[in-house]
A and B are shown apart, each in its own frame.
Chain A
């Protein structure tokens, strides 16, 4: 007791010291785990992206004045000259006058004219550059000033690598090249036109579903969600069948080609539509009925009511939908790949630069450019979404539409047209898949499903896709939910938690193509200890989880925020470790949210193309990539068939999920009943 007394005395006289809280074992473990997930996201997102930035400012050029050559003649080394001297002497055009890239090589045997070295049996070269590594001979790079001796036969195989430097040269080149630059305008044009078409249609559709009593509303709601279940390549393929050179509806285009902006806009509208509808459904269902009663009481005309009540009420939803659709369209590469024709867009340029030309630096430059609109759209969307929360929490009386024949029939008409467009494209793909050879041989056949006889990995890629989607869904749901739990329910550690929050929001702003490219740079580097992941199933799963992280994290965080914040305080007072509360309370209570995350991850893992197209290996081909490759190889019907396989799978899993949600969740969530 004496010590306590002493402590009191000291506390009273000495100047008060700030108390630093001791950490409990839970605090230590939770902080440790937060750091683990931060490190995970750093390796799976931040470092790869940083590499894209680095690559975009790497420029390559030949420094031939730093390579010396000598000939062995009459027992002595003679005619010392640099390759630059030889270029001058022989009027050689280095790299055909093109810009050098990382993979470009020059050959001394080309530079030094045959005539000048006809009788020489021995050559020697040396690298005088300070960084070395200019001369590539027999798989080895020059690493000193020493002469490298080669005989005549080997001399032809010696290669010169360009030197690397840093600067904005790539960007200069990009903007100075009209063929590249035009993609910016093209991408923006496509995105804006598509958004301009999708938003009004989605608004009318969502209005019909929420504000009218038109018949078949549940059916229309289901139809609107169909495009989510297929890769964006599929509507493009459907359009090719409908409006292509042999299409049944081609005359409707009045001579215009489906390959180009028209096709891109139509297919983009198809796959972006459900995302806009989902946002607008929420926006339109939170409006307060009392405002309409007030408007009626004030004798406002229907138009005035619409302009003064309905539109302002949904304005945040409209803005949010605008930016979401804009981002989806501008970052998509599947659609322009199939129906783009000669019309270049940014996302496709990345693919072409990387896969077609192996020009990683230029791919990185286009990535950086594509990041700009994506980040702007993401930022605006986040700001708007934050405001809409306030609107949701208001105590409003839900709006109940009253029967109105003319209005209901009008919206039935609008929704039917949109619904027919969606189902029409899907049906076209279905027909193309099951007929022998549309439109010439209309006998039923499973020929198009014989994937093993085509490019793209065959049925194995379908199996890979299912495995990838299952891994992604199970690992991702747990990882993301657990991460959200740590960040929402942990104590203190503000810095770590804000870094986590920031990292968790970033994937949404990063287009899939950019992420995929970033992964090549990061994981394909032999110096990276994680290099062993390259070409495995694991990297596909990691990439997909990271790509889909943000939306899942937000779903989990929202569910966790709705839980009483005192649960953790109570558990601490009862001296129960956090993982017990996590597994006994938080997870079971949030099971519905977790099952939503699961299905979101599964469906998107099945359909994703953009991020994984750079990362698959011969043993990990995916169904969605197979669609791309079969289409590329001209096997369009099998591509449609594989796309339909993805659709069947997603639809089936969706239905199973629905049953699970109703039955199993219904049983485990019995406590919700009063």
Chain B
């Protein structure tokens, strides 16, 4: 028996009356891992986090933490620290008192508490703000205090519930780097709930993509981005072209009237209607092309300038009614010198194509 996962969620279902918020969810999290629950609002990610925290205990299923069955334990008997989107800092206590709040009743000396608070605030760069009240700090500073307070008791598990959502974009980007660095340094197992895919991609070791109460995919940021397991994941993370297609044979699909593409079809039945998907940046516009599979002659229908890149809307006789969106770097754009109406060979690389069952 090799190493046990630190946290094991097994067959967890949560019902609120007749509504099922989580449906038979199972998940393992390793010690020291940073896992993000990602999904649209109402997908059950916060419900799962609250079940793990014991704040809203699941209707069915078990949760083990560090080998201990915590399925039915109330929050106060579990081992975790939590940070909420609202920070939930006690407004009438100073920063020092907030951070020290959980250190009471642990048999610590006053002096030890003071030092621990100081070192925690030092870590998040707020050592000189200890005597202020939360309302006197900026949102980002408040969130750091909330983080220090959650970490003060050295919990085995850190839960972050949309911790950055209430902050400005600039502060958010800065703070997410900081949280990630702190987490790596402390090695605390962390679960963060977010609806922001960019945040999840940037911070997580693994991402758990959720939708309507079930887990759609679990994988590293790279996996969920480049090999989305379902059309939902493909659509939710990053930008993706979705095109109706037919699987004509094993490993071969047809798009529109006249474009055949080789690609992985994963043993889907043939023939069958399907949906082909390709990322905007994976479409290759070439200067000189071959008339082969995975290629067609495209026509630029429209161009959209988006700063560091240009988004081209590409049609073509071979693909019929369909218009594909393709992102072209500013660099390539200069070389191709494209204009609306221009004809250009387009390649859809086989290893970049995804095929999903038609929904």
Contacts and interface: CB of A to CB of B under 8 A. Distances in A.
Given A491-B74, A567-B90, A8 B59 contact: no
Nearest to B4: A1
A301 interface: no
B133 interface: yes
B62 interface: yes
Given A7-B64, A19-B58, A24-B77, 20 more contacts: A1-B4, A7-B62, A18-B60, A21-B74, A24-B74, A24-B76, A566-B88, A569-B53, A569-B75, A570-B149, A571-B101, A573-B81, A574-B153, A575-B105, A575-B153, A576-B102, A576-B105, A589-B90, A671-B93, A673-B135
A333 to B, nearest CB: 44
B103 to A, nearest CB: 8
A89 to B, nearest CB: 74
B184 interface: no
B57 interface: yes
Nearest to A22: B72
Interface string B134-147: 11100000000000
A564 B155 contact: no
25 contacts: A4-B67, A5-B1, A8-B62, A16-B11, A16-B61, A19-B58, A19-B59, A20-B72, A22-B74, A22-B77, A24-B75, A25-B76, A26-B76, A564-B84, A566-B84, A567-B90, A569-B88, A574-B81, A574-B152, A584-B90, A588-B92, A668-B92, A669-B92, A672-B135, A673-B136
Interface in B1-41: 1, 4, 8, 10-11, 13
A229 B11 CA distance: 63
Contacts of A25: 76
B71 interface: yes
Interface string A46-84: 000000000000000000000000000000000000000
B352 interface: no
A574 B92 contact: no
Contact of A576 (B4, B82, B104): B104
Interface in A515-543: none
A23 interface: yes
A114 B84 CA distance: 91
B69 interface: yes
A491 B91 CA distance: 22
Interface in B49-73: 53-55, 57-62, 64, 67, 69, 71-73
B80 interface: yes
Nearest to B63: A19
B86 A566 contact: yes
Given A569-B82, A573-B155, A11 B76 contact: no
B150 interface: yes
Q: How large is the interface on A (under 10, 10 to 19, 20 to 34, 35 or more residues)?
A: 35 or more
A673 B13 CA distance: 44
B60 A574 contact: no
Contact of B88 (A4, A26, A570): A570
Query: DSSP majority for the A interface?
Result: helix
Contacts of B135: 671-674
A179 interface: no
A572 interface: yes
Contacts of B88: 564, 566-567, 569-570
A19 B61 contact: yes
A460 to B, nearest CB: 42
A570 B84 contact: yes
A596 interface: no
A192 to B, nearest CB: 44
A344 B81 CA distance: 67
B113 to A, nearest CB: 13
Interface in A388-435: none
B81 A569 contact: no
Contacts of A673: 135-136
A580 B104 CA distance: 10
A383 interface: no
Interface of B: 1, 4, 8, 10-11, 13, 53-55, 57-62, 64, 67, 69, 71-78, 80-82, 84, 86, 88, 90-93, 101-102, 104-105, 133-136, 149-150, 152-153, 155
Nearest 4 pairs between A and B by C-beta? A574-B102, A566-B88, A16-B60, A671-B133
A669 B91 CA distance: 10
A670 interface: yes
A523 B78 CA distance: 48
Contacts of A576: 101-102, 104-105
A585 interface: yes
A19 B67 contact: no
A19 B57 contact: yes
Interface string A1-38: 10011011001100011111111111100000000000
Most chain-B Cβ atoms within 10 A of its Cβ — which of A5, A27, A576? Answer: A576
Nearest to A571: B101
Nearest to B1: A1
Most chain-B Cβ atoms within 10 A of its Cβ — which of A1, A4, A570, A573? Answer: A573
A11 B92 contact: no
A17 B60 contact: yes
B74 A564 contact: no
B71 A573 contact: no
Given A1-B4, A4-B64, A575-B102, A569 B55 contact: yes
A172 B111 CA distance: 78
Contacts of B57: 19, 21
A1 to B, nearest CB: 6
A423 B150 CA distance: 58
A24 B11 CA distance: 24
A566 B8 CA distance: 25
Contact of B93 (A566, A584, A668): A584
B183 to A, nearest CB: 17
A564 B82 CA distance: 14
Interface in A574-593: 574-577, 580, 584-585, 588-589
A15 to B, nearest CB: 9
A574 B90 CA distance: 13
Contacts of A571: 101
Contacts of A16: 11, 13, 60-61
A11 B10 contact: yes
Contact of A589 (B91, B152, B153): B91
Most chain-A Cβ atoms within 10 A of its Cβ — which of B8, B72, B91, B105? Answer: B91
